[in-house]
Structure 1
Amino acid sequence: MEDKLKAFAKELFKIDAIKFGEYKTKIGLMTPVYCDLRVIVSYPKLLETLAELMIWKIGNINNYNIICGVPYTALPIATVVSIKSNVSMVMRRKEAKDYGTKKLIEGVFKPGDNCLIIEDVITSGSSILETVKDLTNSELKCTDAIILLNREQGGEAFLKNNGIKMHALFNLTQLMDILQEANYIDSLMVQKVRDYLATTKVDESLLNKNVSQNRLKMSFEDREKLAKNPVAKRLFEIMRNKQTTLCVAADILSATDLLNFAEAVGPHICALKTHIDIVEDFNPNLIQPLQQIADRHNFVLFEDRKFADIGKTVEYQYSKGLYSISSWAPLVTVHSLMGPGVLDAIKSSDGAKARGVFLLAEASSAGNLISENYTKDTIKMAEQYPELITGIVCQSPLFTNNPGFIQLCPGVQLENKQDNLGQKYNSPLTVVLEKGADVAVVGRGISQAPEPAVAAEKYKKILWNAYLERIKTRVD
């Protein structure tokens, strides 16, 4: 098998899976050698050889009964290993889908199964720990990982410190020796790689910080300290003090009914979401009693305006006119469609000093045209305005490593799955445990209930218990 391993290393070089030059790794380190093992899927015989080598290496690991490849490069490797070894496989999604089973871990398994992790290359080990986290949350045990190539930059020690023992087919130094022996590279390149490895290691303290700061496993108290937006800080404080993550959508047409509704649900919510322009008898005199109710019951007024125009128009819509939103609503929603000018307009407009924005990255309505790239670009835009952005409106856990932002998820209801106008609903448990919501928006499930206060209290308790369930398996 040692000879087979050497022959395999040479084949990797021949298919250009081992490249030499100046490359940047996933974690931002520059490197003179880059291992692009994604190409191996185009060489089935080589993929089969790799699976055989891994099964040989796995021979001294006897405490697993299921395997999982780290997405995405290791998925085909794990599949062939599973077939050739007749060991069951599960598959981890990078994010839960909003259809089908909506699971992060796909496949057949039972709580307590020990899952062997399969990965192609390890630099820091962070990708493996991301997979371990989701497997652990699904009640699987993870103690070992088998790797094709260890880049010798600190990943093995980092995994060990987090309870995972690594088993590698070979390390980067061994790979360089094999390629030099075959006259594929010269001694100068070998020395260059050795010097690089001697001087470039992953900062384990930063890795530990990133692992521990997964917002899905952090308490609101810890996240409050990391929030840069004042409204986000206030929301975190309200949520932990009132033990509620419930935001109620008050789509009510009468000013009197709106005030009565706010008074009824106020003790159970962290925010009241309005569409103030649908109030048929609106008068500016409505605002003061609405603010007094918010102050008395300690919740945030949240106007769901969804600003989406050129900057100057947004400035007027936000701070001028009949509704003068900036003077009374600390929170508003904004579309990223028109670019950062909208956020600049919100930031510089007249009105209350403490203000926050929920930026819309995904929608709960069926058939919406928001694309994956649009969502990613929205997250990037939010990261450029940390003092203004309270959080993101989305339907999946998009920003797990930015715990200062709050995820708002609309469309929550205990019973209905979809209305006749395309609104899709999530259950309270699904929205918190699978979709990553910090704040859940409930509308008609409360506003149309016979006793809105009773319904609000019910949602509050279910959502809060789901949050406690989510953070109890904290990664330290």
Structure 2
Amino acid sequence: MDFTKQLEELAINLFKIDAVKFGEFTTKSGMKTPVYFDLRVIVSYPAIMESISDLLYSSSLISLEYDHICGVPYTALPIATLLSVKAKKSMLMRRKEAKSYGTKKLIEGHFSKNQKCCIVEDVVTSGSSVLETVNDLRKEGLVVEQAVIILDREQGGRQNLEKNRVKMMSLLTMSELIKILVDNNCITKEIGVEVKNYLNSTKAPSVESSEVSAVNRLNMPYEKRAGVSRNSIAKQLFNIMATKKTNLCISVDLTSSVQILNLLEKVGEHVCLVKTHVDIIEDFNSDFVEQLKQMATKFNFLLLEDRKFADIGNTVSLQYSKGIYKISEWADCVTVHSLPGEGILKALNSASSDKSKGVFLLAEMSSEGNLITPDYTKATVKMAEKYPQLMTGFVCQNAATFDDPGLIQLTPGVQLEKPKDNLGQVYNTPEKVIENGADVVVVGRGIVASKNPETEAVLYKNILWKSYSKRILGKME
């Protein structure tokens, strides 16, 4: 069978095993898409695995010079293993986070500096996942200039990789795959046209070159920061803010589910994030959760449960996924104290959930007389570095707390007028917190307790967005 016929057969088989889905989906980079590729299912189909590895080897690997193969974790690892055996080349494994014991390695395997490593990936949209692996390998002194992938979504990933000195070779492009499926009556021509129009109109965020020196995150637009973020929730949040032109988070500290839903119906279109305290809701139930999720989809905002987890890992894992609240099933992200140590992040990272997970670590607090010290803040930021895929950002008050532009500074304690309440909460103005590095700003009583919440939400949104726009242009006073 010739190469073209083999590719056609592979495309049809991927459709048959439901590795190609059509509908409405959200990619890792936070983009909405009418077509989604779930290549994790191929591990259950040895013949398809073998076909993919044969095609990748004959079309790409056989012509390249390299010493090692490294698959992007985790979907590409089985294919990388087969290619390593087929090519009789050493395989390296990149961990998503360094071990906290033993050698504490991020890259497993034997290698020497200046040796060449070829990357293997399943699907490329923006190229950010490939670049995460590339950057970690380069930090170890390896030369990484080639990536072979199964599918190119044709949304900017190839260009992003080239900016980072990585040449990408793909088995299929999205256009080629869709044409094969239409020609073989797997999908209708109408679906094919819809996907083609989507490709022409929707591109992934540009990913900044890893060769560029550290960029001041305060001057980077949200859409560019989405491209360098390693946490899927942070990517989504950056893109939502850029699309809706709002960096306002509302804290719905109400005790009635009806009150919360009524409030969100009024302000939902003006916020990027909704912060809840579910344990104060007196009539909490599963129907409320479903309505909350539907509203999040309707208005395109994410859900943050401000649980402030602070127990040992095993307990936190249960608090996150069990009990009456089942937070892991509906919350996009949660707040966490670093006080118990790394075990709390390890527990949340491994907690079972079909959802993407996000964590905001409390690095600073806005309450008067809190006991967090500068050393505690530094240790918190350091602890987060081992879990880049889990970390959405930090709850903090100052821009100097962290540098990574892919993380989000969530800042509470904001009101237009009142400087302090009678319980020790200190407030700052919207302009001040943006100047101090805030990316997402939390407003609670300033909106919730007002006579007209929607009017106040619009007022806060406009002031915050104007301040952010000035900041990225370097015009803050």
- Of residues 308, 319, 322, the one that matches 1:320 is 322
Paired residues of 2:434 and 2:464 also in contact (CA < 8 A)? yes
**CA gap 1:236/1:320 in 2 versus in 1, 3 angstroms:** same
Secondary structure class of the residue paired with 2:263? helix
Q: Distance in 1 between matches of 2:245 and 2:440?
A: 12
- Spell out the pairing of 1:115-134 with structure 2 (5 A cutoff): none
Secondary structure class of the residue paired with 1:459? helix
- Of residues 246, 249, 253, the one that matches 2:248 is 246
Residue 207 of structure 1, CA deviation: 11
1:303 maps to 305
Secondary structure class of the residue paired with 1:390? strand
Q: Distance in 2 between matches of 1:396 and 1:316?
A: 32
Q: Distance in 2 between matches of 1:272 and 1:358?
A: 14
Deviations 1:78-123 (A, max 9, x none): xxxxxxxxxxxxxxxxxxxxxxxxxxxxxxxxxxxxxxxxxxxxxx
1:449 maps to 450
- Pair 1:389-2:410 in alignment: no
- Of residues 260, 263, 266, the one that matches 1:261 is 263
2:125 maps to none
Q: Distance in 2 between matches of 1:289 and 1:206?
A: 41
Paired residues of 1:254 and 1:281 also in contact (CA < 8 A)? yes
Secondary structure class of the residue paired with 1:294? helix
What is the root-mean-square deviation in Å for CA atoms of aligned residues? 1.6
- Of residues 348, 360, 363, the one that matches 2:362 is 360
Which has the larger Rg? 1
TM-score, normalised by the number of residues in structure 2: 0.55
Secondary structure class of the residue paired with 1:412? coil
- Pair 1:458-2:462 in alignment: no
1:420 maps to 422
Structure 2 counterpart of 1:389, one-letter code? M
**CA gap 1:266/1:413 in 2 versus in 1, 3 angstroms:** same
Residue 228 of structure 1, CA deviation: 0.3
Q: Distance in 1 between matches of 2:248 and 2:402?
A: 20
Q: Distance in 2 between matches of 1:240 and 1:368?
A: 33
Paired residues of 2:378 and 2:401 also in contact (CA < 8 A)? no
- Spell out the pairing of 1:18-167 with structure 2 (5 A cutoff): none
- Spell out the pairing of 1:193-342 with structure 2 (5 A cutoff): 209-211=212-214, 213-342=215-344
Deviations 1:211-246 (A, max 9, x none): 5x1100111111110000000000000000000000
Structure 1 counterpart of 2:315, one-letter code? T
Paired residues of 2:273 and 2:303 also in contact (CA < 8 A)? yes
Structure 1 counterpart of 2:470, one-letter code? E
Q: Distance in 2 between matches of 1:274 and 1:326?
A: 14
**CA gap 1:362/1:399 in 2 versus in 1, 3 angstroms:** closer
Paired residues of 1:407 and 1:438 also in contact (CA < 8 A)? yes
Paired residues of 1:306 and 1:334 also in contact (CA < 8 A)? yes
Deviations 1:419-461 (A, max 9, x none): 000000010000001x110000000000001111111111000
TM-score, normalised by the number of residues in structure 1: 0.55
- Pair 1:437-2:445 in alignment: no
Q: Distance in 1 between matches of 2:272 and 2:457?
A: 11
Q: Distance in 2 between matches of 1:393 and 1:271?
A: 14
Q: Distance in 1 between matches of 2:372 and 2:458?
A: 33
Q: Distance in 2 between matches of 1:260 and 1:248?
A: 13
Paired residues of 1:216 and 1:400 also in contact (CA < 8 A)? no
1:75 maps to none
Q: Distance in 1 between matches of 2:323 and 2:287?
A: 14
Structure 2 counterpart of 1:438, one-letter code? D
Deviant stretches of 4+, over 3 Å: 205-208
Q: Distance in 2 between matches of 1:302 and 1:410?
A: 13
- Spell out the pairing of 1:187-198 with structure 2 (5 A cutoff): none
- Spell out the pairing of 1:463-474 with structure 2 (5 A cutoff): 463-473=464-474
Paired residues of 2:248 and 2:273 also in contact (CA < 8 A)? yes
Residue 382 of structure 1, CA deviation: 1.4
Residue 206 of structure 1, CA deviation: 9.8
Deviations 1:332-364 (A, max 9, x none): 000000011111111111223311000000000
Residue 410 of structure 1, CA deviation: 0.3
Paired residues of 1:318 and 1:324 also in contact (CA < 8 A)? yes
Paired residues of 2:377 and 2:401 also in contact (CA < 8 A)? no
Q: Distance in 2 between matches of 1:357 and 1:417?
A: 29
Q: Distance in 2 between matches of 1:347 and 1:451?
A: 40
Paired residues of 1:328 and 1:352 also in contact (CA < 8 A)? no
Deviations 1:236-259 (A, max 9, x none): 000000000000000001110011
Query: Please, which runs of 5 or more residues in structure 2 have no aligned partner?
Result: 1-207
Q: Distance in 2 between matches of 1:348 and 1:356?
A: 12
User: What is the percentage of aligned positions where both structures have the same residue?
Assistant: 53
Paired residues of 1:308 and 1:338 also in contact (CA < 8 A)? yes
Deviations 1:8-59 (A, max 9, x none): xxxxxxxxxxxxxxxxxxxxxxxxxxxxxxxxxxxxxxxxxxxxxxxxxxxx
Query: Please, which runs of 5 or more residues in structure 1 have no aligned partner?
Result: 1-204
Paired residues of 1:210 and 1:401 also in contact (CA < 8 A)? no
**CA gap 1:372/1:399 in 2 versus in 1, 3 angstroms:** closer
Residue 317 of structure 1, CA deviation: 0.3
Structure 2 counterpart of 1:254, one-letter code? S
Residue 471 of structure 1, CA deviation: 0.6
Structure 2 counterpart of 1:386, one-letter code? P
Residue 209 of structure 1, CA deviation: 2.2
Q: Distance in 2 between matches of 1:299 and 1:455?
A: 18
**CA gap 1:319/1:400 in 2 versus in 1, 3 angstroms:** closer
Structure 2 counterpart of 1:368, one-letter code? N
Paired residues of 1:214 and 1:400 also in contact (CA < 8 A)? no
Residue 384 of structure 1, CA deviation: 1.6
Residue 296 of structure 1, CA deviation: 0.1
